[in-house]
């Protein structure tokens, strides 16, 4: 299980964060990045989201503010040199990081992983993992509670998309009663399932 007190300490005692996730990003990757960025924004942190590959056109709706940058296109390696913490979301595998693996290897920042996948490489990072979780977006939602950040529609929407898609819209066996309770929190905070579904599938 995740040591959330330790995770909260990592967040509270640093200011400049770099978030990244896996190549061929899906809604759990993108939604977790955007949700975590929202939590960090609320705490007054300086946040960059940088991926090795561009957001797929069919998922561009999730990032209306165009916060997610692409390494080598929007951001270059020297632009990331001042980051204090590099947080990898929704993967623990070198091969899934693409060129962001270069950043992870070279950075002097503290390294951490927030993930729900069983597979795991040694990324040289502190691992905050719960392989029982149905989505990394669920872990970001748990982090919100530990960090004392109220949910907003801007945080809730990408996190709902993350959980809904990683559970096959709540059809997969990973779906539990807790999944629906977490989803309910996000709806109460402003996520609109009908609009999210339409953006994804219609």
pLDDT tens track for 30-47: 999 999 999 999 999 999
- Judged against a pLDDT cut of 90, whether residue 119 lies above it is answered with no
For the residues 93-112, what does the mean pLDDT come to?
A: 97
With 0-12 / 13-18 / 19 or more C-beta atoms within 10 angstroms meaning exposed / middle / buried, residue 198 is exposed
What pTM, to 2 d.p., does this model score? 0.97
Per CATH, is 4-150 categorized as 1.10.10.60?
no
- Give the pLDDT band (50/70/90) at residue 108: very high
Task: State the CB neighbour count (10 A cutoff) for residue 48.
Answer: 20
- Judged against a pLDDT cut of 90, whether residue 4 lies above it is answered with yes
Query: What b/e sequence results for 80-106 when a residue is b if at least 16 CB atoms lie within 10 Å of its CB, and e otherwise?
Result: beebbbbbbbbbbeeebbbebbebbee
Structure tokens at 94: 């070198």
Q: What percent of the chain clears pLDDT 70, i.e. is strictly above it? A: 100
Task: State the CB neighbour count (10 A cutoff) for residue 47.
Answer: 21
- Judged against a pLDDT cut of 90, whether residue 1 lies above it is answered with no
């Amino acid at each position: 299980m995740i040591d959330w007190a330790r995770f909260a300490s990592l967040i509270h005692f640093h200011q400049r964060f770099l978030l990244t996730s896996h190549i061929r990003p899906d809604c759990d990757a993108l939604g977790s990045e955007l949700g975590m960025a929202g939590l960090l924004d609320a705490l007054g942190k300086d946040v960059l989201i940088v991926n090795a590959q561009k957001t797929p056109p069919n998922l561009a709706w999730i990032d209306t503010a165009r916060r997610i940058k692409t390494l080598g296109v929007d951001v270059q390696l020297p632009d990331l040199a001042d980051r204090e913490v590099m947080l990898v979301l929704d993967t623990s595998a070198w091969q899934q990081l693409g060129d962001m693996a270069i950043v992870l290897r070279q950075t002097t920042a503290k390294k951490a992983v927030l993930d729900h996948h069983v597979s795991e490489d040694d990324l040289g990072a502190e691992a905050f993992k719960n392989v029982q979780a149905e989505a990394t977006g669920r872990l970001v939602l748990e982090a919100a509670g530990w960090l004392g950040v109220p949910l907003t529609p801007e945080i809730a929407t990408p996190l709902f998309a993350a959980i809904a898609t990683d559970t096959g819209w709540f059809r997969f066996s990973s779906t539990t009663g807790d999944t629906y309770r977490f989803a309910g929190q996000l709806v109460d905070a402003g996520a609109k399932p009908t609009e999210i579904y339409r953006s994804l599938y219609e």
